[in-house]
Structure 1
Amino acid sequence: MPAISERDLAATIDHAILKPEMTRPQVDAELDIAAQWGVFSVCVRPSDIAHAVRRLEGTGVAVGTVIGFPHGTTSTVAKVAEVTQALADGASEVDMVVNIGFLRSGFDDAVVDDIRAVVDAAHGRIAKVILETSYLDDEQIARGSRLTEAGGAAFVKTSTGFGGGGATVEHVRLMRANVGPRVQVKASGGVRGLETALAMLDAGATRLGTSASATILGELRAIGGGAGPTGARDDSSY
Structure 2
Amino acid sequence: MTSIAKLIDHTLLRPDATRADVLQLCDEAVRYGFFAVCVHPYFSAIAKEALFKSHVKVAAVIGFPLGMTLSAVKIYEAMQTVLNGADELDVVINTGLAKSGEWDAVKKEISDIVTATPEAVHKIIIETCYLTDDEKKKACKAVIEAGADYIKTSTGFGPSGAVIRDVQLIKTLTKGKPGIKAAGGIKTFAQAKALIEAGATRIGTSSGAAIMKEAPGEY
| TM-score, with structure 1 as normaliser | 0.88
Give the aligned partner of residue 176 of structure 1: 171
Corresponding residue to 2:33 among 25, 32, 38: 38
1:127 is paired with a residue whose SS is: strand
Residues 100, 59 of structure 1: CA spacing in aligned structure 2 closer, same or farther, 3 A cutoff?
A: same
- 1:60 matched to 2:60: no
What's the Cα RMSD here? 1.5
1:174 is paired with a residue whose SS is: helix
Write out aligned runs for 1:85-96 (5 A).
85-96=80-91
Write out aligned runs for 1:118-137 (5 A).
118-137=113-132
- 1:15 matched to 2:10: yes
- 1:108 matched to 2:113: no
Which whole-Å CA distance do the structure 1 matches of 2:129 and 2:22 have between them? 27
Larger Rg: 1
| TM-score, with structure 2 as normaliser | 0.96
1:15 is paired with a residue whose SS is: strand
Query: 1:33 deviation in Å?
Result: 1.1
Deviations 1:43-101 (A, max 9, x none): 11100011111111112111010110000111111111011101111111101000001
1:70 is paired with a residue whose SS is: coil
- 1:147 matched to 2:132: no
Query: 1:23 deviation in Å?
Result: 1.7
Which whole-Å CA distance do the structure 2 matches of 1:76 and 1:224 have between them? 45
Residues 216, 112 of structure 1: CA spacing in aligned structure 2 closer, same or farther, 3 A cutoff?
A: same
Query: 1:207 deviation in Å?
Result: 0.3
Aligned length: 219
CA contact (8 A) 2:156 2:183 kept: yes
CA contact (8 A) 2:87 2:119 kept: no
Query: 1:182 deviation in Å?
Result: 2.4
Give the aligned partner of residue 205 of structure 1: 200
Which whole-Å CA distance do the structure 2 matches of 1:225 and 1:92 have between them? 29
- 1:162 matched to 2:153: no
Question: Structure 1: which 5+ residue stretches go unaligned?
Answer: 227-238
Code of the aligned partner of 1:138:
D
1:156 is paired with a residue whose SS is: strand
Query: 1:225 deviation in Å?
Result: 9.6
Corresponding residue to 1:216 among 211, 215, 219: 211
